[in-house]
């Protein structure tokens, strides 16, 4: 097969981009059960393309976890994740090849061989494939995102399957299993537990969930000084006592907006200084007398 480097796509090809972006975002975020007959047909075509007979048994389950448990307990397969086709979660690479099926500038021989995998992605979640057995997981029953399209939910699982399996995520940060109590039992969240957390990112999330104001009120923060930054946002230099030791904290607003347009409030350990301007100057390593915040804001 001869190959030729494509230097530029045609205008018609470029015009296809939104169509495929929207199509595969939709596929990748679909929820609920798919068409079982279409799934079975796609599986048969996949095996035929590989020169294999249609598997004798196709089992449908509610989640990837249920699939793994079934494969381990009933079929004695100890490493189910070694034989997975990720269904709708194959969107990243399937969208690429799906585009070239309609592209004028590039032609790929036998590209139609991926059609059954595309059809499977349109209808299913994860699919565990073996010689005579296929286990098909449903898609999630719920998926929640923030304004930036990151997995996120403030009230429960960000991704949940119909059997109750899922994961918690805070603005795209997956919450570890041992920290999921932050969502399931928020009454246990206290300043002491927040301060005990060694993971800085998780500690910040715990602070956001608990509430910075609640935390500072609980710790009886004392206001040392206030001013405004170069963008006109309020700042406070605070002091709290932790284990008998006075700790100074600078409270400020990030000058760059979040993807949803909001501005995040930060609390950072304060370096030397008697007011927010001096503290921020010290953090940049500048003499407060010569530090111009308008340049940095």
- Tell me whether residue 153 is in a domain: no
List, as own/partner pairs, every contact residues 146-150 make where C-beta atoms lie below 8 angstroms and the sequence separation is at least 24, other chains included: 146/171, 146/172, 146/259, 146/260, 147/258, 147/259, 147/260, 147/261, 148/172, 148/258, 148/259, 148/260, 149/259
Q: Specify if 146 maps to a domain.
A: no
Same domain, 173 and 264: no
Residues 38 and 68 in one domain: yes
Q: Indicate if 202 and 219 belong to the same structural domain.
A: no
Q: Quick one: pLDDT at residue 188?
A: 93
> Are 107 and 172 found together in one domain?
no
What is the predicted pLDDT for the residue at 288? Answer: 66
Show which of 139, 170, 185 is a domain's final residue: 139
Residues 181, 263 share a domain: no
Q: Does residue 2 belong to any structural domain of this protein?
A: no
Predicted confidence at residue 64, as pLDDT, reads 97
Q: Distance (Å, rounded) from C-alpha 66 to C-alpha 156?
A: 20
The answer to the question of residue 3 being in a domain is no
pLDDT score, position 292? 60
* 111 located within any domain: yes
C-alpha span between 136 and 143 (Å, rounded): 19
**5 in a structural domain:** no
238 and 175 within one domain: no
User: Within this chain, do residues 25 and 121 fall inside the same structural domain, yes or no?
Assistant: yes
Question: What pLDDT, on the 0 to 100 scale, is given for residue 297?
Answer: 45
On whether both 164 and 274 belong to a single domain, the answer is: no
pLDDT of residue 163: 97
- 34 and 125 fall within a common domain: yes
Residues 273 and 192 in one domain: no
| Last residue in a domain, options 195, 210, 225 | 210
What's the domain range around 190? Answer: 159-210
Rg for the chain (alpha carbons), in Å? 27
- 152 within domain boundaries: no
Q: Please report whether residue 193 resides in a domain.
A: yes
Final residue belonging to a domain, choices 210, 228, 249: 210
Q: Are residues 216 and 206 in the same domain?
A: no
49 and 103 in a common domain: yes
As for how many domains the chain has, the answer is 3
Per-residue pLDDT of the chain (297 residues; tens, 9 = 90+): 456 778 889 999 999 999 999 999 999 999 999 999 999 999 999 999 999 999 999 999 999 999 999 999 999 999 999 999 999 999 999 999 999 998 888 888 889 999 999 999 999 999 999 999 999 999 999 999 988 889 999 989 999 999 999 999 998 999 999 999 999 999 999 998 988 888 878 887 888 888 877 888 888 888 999 988 888 888 889 888 765 667 778 888 877 777 777 777 777 766 678 888 888 887 777 776 666 655 444
């Amino acid at each position: 097969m001869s190959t030729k480097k494509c230097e530029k796509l045609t205008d018609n090809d470029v015009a296809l981009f939104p169509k495929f972006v929207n199509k595969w975002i939709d596929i990748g975020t679909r929820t609920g059960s798919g068409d079982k007959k279409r799934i079975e047909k796609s599986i048969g075509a996949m095996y035929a393309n590989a020169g294999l007979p249609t598997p004798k048994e196709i089992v449908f389950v509610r989640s990837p976890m249920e699939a793994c448990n079934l494969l381990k307990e009933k079929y004695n397969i100890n490493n189910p994740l070694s034989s997975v086709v990720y269904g709708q979660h194959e969107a990243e690479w399937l969208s690429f090849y799906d585009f070239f099926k309609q592209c004028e500038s590039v032609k790929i021989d036998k590209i139609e061989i991926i059609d059954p995998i595309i059809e499977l992605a349109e209808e299913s979640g994860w699919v565990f494939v073996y010689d005579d057995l296929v286990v098909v997981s449903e898609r999630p029953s719920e998926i929640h995102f923030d304004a930036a399209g990151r997995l996120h939910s403030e009230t429960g699982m960000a991704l949940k399957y119909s059997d109750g399996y899922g994961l918690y995520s805070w603005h795209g940060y997956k919450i570890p299993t041992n920290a999921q109590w932050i969502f399931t039992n928020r009454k246990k969240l206290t300043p002491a537990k927040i301060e005990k957390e060694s993971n800085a990112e998780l500690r910040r999330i715990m602070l956001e969930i608990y509430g910075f104001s609640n935390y500072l009120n609980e710790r009886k923060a004392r206001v040392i000084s206030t001013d405004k930054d170069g963008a006109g946002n309020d700042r406070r230099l605070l002091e709290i006592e932790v284990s008998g030791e006075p700790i100074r904290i600078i409270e400020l607003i990030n000058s760059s907006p979040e993807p949803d347009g909001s501005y995040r409030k930060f609390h950072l350990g304060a370096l030397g200084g008697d007011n927010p301007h001096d503290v921020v100057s010290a953090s940049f390593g500048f003499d407060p007398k010569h530090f111009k915040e308008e340049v940095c804001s």
